[in-house]
Amino acid sequence: MSTFQIDFGEANKTPIVGIDLGTTNSLVAFLDLTGPRILPDAEGRNIVPSVVSLAADGGMLVGEAARDALITSPERTVYSVKRLMGKGPSDVADELKLFPFRIDETQDSVIRLKLGDRTLTPPEISAQILRQLKQQAEDHFGAPVTQAVITVPAYFNDAQRQATKDAGRIAGLDVLRLVNEPTAAALAYGLDKRKQGIVAVYDFGGGTFDISILRLHDGIFEVLATNGDTHLGGDDIDNLLLRIALEDIASEWGQDVSGNQEAVQLLRRAVIRAKERLSFVPAVTIELDYRGRQYARELDLATFDRLIAPIVERTLEPCRACMKDAGVTPERIDEVVMVGGSTRIPLVRAGVEKLFRAKPHTELNPDEVVALGAAVQAGILAGDVEDQLLLDVTPLSLGIETMGGLVSRLIHRNSTIPASAVEQFTTAVDGQKNVLIHVVQGERELVKDCRSLARFDLKDLPPMPAGMARIEVRFLIDANGILNVTARDVRTGAEQSVEVKPSYGLSDDQVEAMILESFERAEEDIRERQVREARVEADSILTATEKAKKDDAWMDLSDAERALVDRAVNELLVVYHSEDYVLIREKIEAVNEATMKLAENMMNTAVRSALKGTKI
């Protein structure tokens, strides 16, 4: 592992900490003279359980105290809140069925969790955890801590990332960077010191499983592919052992205690201790002493491995899919990093080593590795690391123009550089042979309000129906701030590129003015974007409907059905130029419903044509 050079020049500067805000547990770390290290709480514990509970006196409990409250006050206690970050109630309807806490049903756009007589949003609950970590850091330094780097899963979208930043702001932290968790793990192991290579990060935590494959090229970690299961983790192993123990107790005691929350939580703790010890000893005993009755069951490693083998296999299947998506084989993967407490299990390590055909990195504590990587990134930002991986940030967002004069951002403002992003687009017109790539810079939603950087054509595309082409656009900013934009036809491999310097010609004042203007006009911009997006969707369905009218399937409709389609189309045309995007979308939906029979007829015609002369 590489050693970091430390700058001794500023002894009194404000510390920047690295935080792993996890689904199950959270940690805070700092890069000092000896390297990155975890900052413990007053009792010497490194890990803070990501659990928050409303106490009887109205105060908030965080960490171990809140986890204890799960036994006595489950309806006032929230855990795994990370799964709810940046989502709406409809996004997590199935998720919430698994939790004891409930949401405020009167809210239809924002999740508000009900804890007793209070309702809190996921960012507000996450902020309680961040405040606890902030306090630990301040106790350690004896000074205020106001700046942090926070890690997020690689698959987090913009809304989830913004919710994480909001949680930091509520907690009194200026979130300088959000770093992808697999990138942080690679940083902790010093893998950024390689010139290039492919790294697999296997993250098996308490509640979720993630696999990420990264490509390192000249200091840039690019996520090639991610996969995983948000309902697969060490909890599944705990639940398996718990279920077996409950069945044993029911048989031995003649009493089913599965409905007793206190007994279940005490037994859960016993099976978790047994599971953890089996990573180091060949056999353990699961023991429970409850209201004068004792239960004990011996469990050896061979039996444990046999029981959990299906769960371990469930983690390997996403790994295979992820390698396929990334276009790599096990032989091409240079490093494998293990993250998450469940990776201590010997069978897990053996399965990963066999799949990737390489011995994985397990030198660092798997519970701490992401937080340690966040601390390295924090040290880079603080100027403490001489051989920096990431040198600067993008002052303004970078993106391309899409249908309707809208901006699709690929690299966001304040992204660390070197940086890269890849996104796929398609064509809007049948038989389109050329695609104009218009690169823009700025924070506004519309191209007309942003700065134009470059234009170039991707030519000679094979003519296809609209929506069938696959155009991959790649943005790559090197350490010198030079942006290289490449557009590639995925089917033919043909590509064109252009190189620009995004910040050239802009003063700091101009950048600041552009950012302030985006804040001031955000509501207006979003409203206009919604209208334009609705019109683009309307264009698409109107074009498709006119095309369908030329199909034989149109004549198969009754006069009433054809009249219904025409009426729905005319109503959409009437509202097309209005500024009410909700009304436009309502009329789009009406066209969708009116043309459903037409679509069915066209599908049936296509199937009959395809099967003509074929015997089944």
The residues, any chain, with a CB within 8 Å of residue 22's CB and separated by 6 or more, are 50, 82, 205, 370
Give the Cα-Cα-Cα angle 258, 261, 262 (nearest 5 degrees): 115
Is 501 designated active site? no
The residues, any chain, with a CB within 8 Å of residue 315's CB and separated by 6 or more, are 202, 204, 209, 211, 229, 232, 348, 351
The residues, any chain, with a CB within 8 Å of residue 605's CB and separated by 6 or more, are 551, 552, 553
Locate all alpha helices (DSSP H) within 289-431, ordered by sequence.
Answer: 301-326, 346-356, 369-382
Q: Name 513's bridge partners.
A: none
Is 210 designated active site? no
- Radius of gyration of the chain from Cα atoms? 28
CB 18 within 8 A of CB 376: yes
The single residue of 41, 82, 222, 368 carrying the catalytic annotation is 82
Is 392 designated active site? no
Task: Count other C-beta atoms under 10 Å from residue 175's C-beta.
Answer: 20
Distance from C-alpha of 158 to C-alpha of 518, rounded to nearest angstrom: 17
Residue by residue, DSSP assigns 400-437 as EEETTTEEEEEE-TT-EESEEEEEEE--SSTT---EEE
Q: Name 486's bridge partners.
A: 474, 497
The residues, any chain, with a CB within 8 Å of residue 522's CB and separated by 6 or more, are none
The single residue of 124, 166, 192, 203 carrying the catalytic annotation is 203
Whose CA is closest to 203, among 194, 213, 193? 213
The single residue of 41, 124, 166, 181 carrying the catalytic annotation is 181
Cα four-point dihedral sign 286, 289, 290, 294: positive
Is 448 designated active site? no
Active-site residues, by number, are: 20, 82, 181, 203
